[in-house]
Structure 1
Amino acid sequence: MLSTRLRYISDCLPSGVRLLAVSKGQPVTSIRSLAEIGQCDFGESRLQEASPKLNALQEFKNLRWHFIGRLQSNKVRSVVKSFQFIHSVDSFSLAERISRISGEEKCSPMIMLQVKFREDPTKGGFSPQQLLDEWLKLNTLPNLKLVGLMTMVPINLDCEDRRNVFRDCRALADQLNLPDCSMGMSSDWKEALQCGATWLRVGSALFGDDKNHVISHTDITKSD
């Protein structure tokens, strides 16, 4: 049951750590069921899929929508208008575009900067050194609230290697005085939690393992 899985995960979270329900691939009925029992944060990675869900759930005024997929430049305006959080800002040029369009739309989205701590051709992101080199420029961009870092571990890493990635992410966030780390998914959220995550992106462990609605590392990085 959704309520049982939500309660189990929520009971594991200390103060200051939040659950992001990865609702990509899930029907509106499942999202509604979680919203009705108090889940407020939902993550989507495809604008085309997300838009009808946002429209269908407008009666829940306290919902916060997070964009977690790879963001194409031609989708920035629509994402900025619909999502309060963007977890996947993987370059200065994308941040600059979001900043400009956010100003035009008179909004200030919460931004997680995506960092790649291990080589992985399937994922984008700043390298740690690149982020440090561009940090001052990023901080000059208006209309953005830089609140944290986001990372995803390569799927072939063992448990200790995953922990090392999570620790590296937390250390870099602390170095930059950023409060949040968006890291950890259904298969490794407990490890991420132990290493300093403040947002856990959980899909199948929350919604269930229905083969039609499984959220995977591959799914979360795909774009429209």
Structure 2
Amino acid sequence: MSSIKQRLTRVRQRIEQAERQAERTPASTILLAVSKTRTADEIRAAFAAGQTAFGENYLQDALEKIDALADLKLEWHFIGRIQSNKTKPIAENFDWVHSIASLKHARRLGEQRPPERPPLKICIQVNTSGEASKGGHEPEQLPELLKAYQALPGIEVVGLMTIPALTDDAAAQRRPFRLLRNLRDTLRSDALPLETLSMGMSGDLEAAILEGATIVRIGTAIFGPRQYNSTN
């Protein structure tokens, strides 16, 4: 059993245990493997272990891997900060974007989405910790902004996403996730169900699942410590 396969097994066990603790339906949480800085061979190893959804932060690195792994049926999620001059390749090559914090970017992504592909699924990023360094809309901005996002062609608003401040305190971990879930519950409607809550990483996935996460974004716990490339 490869180390990646072993780590994936352990992460899946953590997810299953958290779902049981939360009395949630088994397999109601999607595991997104964060493969930024990882090689195509590492992604192949994860795929061989049953993982099909991968998240990338660095566009050029991601495009190279998408090309190298075109023989595999993978789902690609862009989870990094978006630059206006790079929206076209994101729109053309990804299935999801989790880091939407700008109507301008969402509009460009929708306009540049190839017509033969289904609408690009997007999660609107919310700043739940009040940190200036964190991207995302402020919670109070969402009610009005959602109407504008929903009106854009070429995209499908499927939910909300957050990256809270890091903490080892279990209660503190849960607070921003609870805020996002409550915000979603307040804003959702039949026309906009906002079924996705993208929240939780290697160190706090249990807290996120207890508060309703439908996607957890896990990198280190699957692939080990990251190896950064100075060119990204």
Separation in 1, partners of 2:132, 2:196: 25
- Give the aligned partner of residue 19 of structure 2: none
2:202 corresponds to 1:179: no
Once superposed, what is the RMSD of the aligned Cα atoms? 2.0
Give deviations 1:10-67, integer Å, cap 9, x for gaps.
2333322110000001111111001112100000001111111111111112x10000
Could you tell me whether the CA contact under 8 Å between 1:173 and 1:180 is conserved in 2?
Answer: no
Separation in 1, partners of 2:113, 2:186: 27
The residue type paired with residue 144 of structure 1 is I
1:104-143 aligned at under 5 Å gives the runs 107-143=118-154
What TM-score, normalized by structure 2, do the two folds share? 0.86
Separation in 1, partners of 2:110, 2:140: 22
Could you tell me whether the CA contact under 8 Å between 2:8 and 2:49 is conserved in 1?
Answer: no
1:47-66 aligned at under 5 Å gives the runs 47-61=59-73, 63-66=74-77
2:210 corresponds to 1:212: no
- Give the aligned partner of residue 11 of structure 2: 9
Structure 1 stretch displaced more, 186-195 or 93-102: 93-102
Separation in 1, partners of 2:95, 2:175: 30
Structure 2: give runs of 5+ residues left out of the alignment.
17-25, 189-193
- Give the aligned partner of residue 80 of structure 1: 91
The residue type paired with residue 3 of structure 1 is K
Could you tell me whether the CA contact under 8 Å between 2:92 and 2:112 is conserved in 1?
Answer: no
Structure 1 stretch displaced more, 168-177 or 189-198: 168-177
How many pairs are equivalent? 214
What TM-score, normalized by structure 1, do the two folds share? 0.88
Give deviations 1:79-137, integer Å, cap 9, x for gaps.
01110000000022222222222266754111000000121122211111111121212
Separation in 2, partners of 1:119, 1:156: 14
Could you tell me whether the CA contact under 8 Å between 1:87 and 1:111 is conserved in 2?
Answer: yes
1:5-44 aligned at under 5 Å gives the runs 5-11=7-13, 12-13=15-16, 14-44=26-56
Structure 1: give runs of 5+ residues left out of the alignment.
214-218
Shift, 1:156, TM fit: 5.2
Shift, 1:182, TM fit: 0.5
2:82 corresponds to 1:71: yes
The 1:157–1:132 alpha-carbon spacing in structure 2 relative to 1, beyond 3 Å, is farther
Percent identity over the alignment?
Answer: 38
Could you tell me whether the CA contact under 8 Å between 1:87 and 1:114 is conserved in 2?
Answer: yes
- Give the aligned partner of residue 216 of structure 1: none
The 1:103–1:65 alpha-carbon spacing in structure 2 relative to 1, beyond 3 Å, is closer
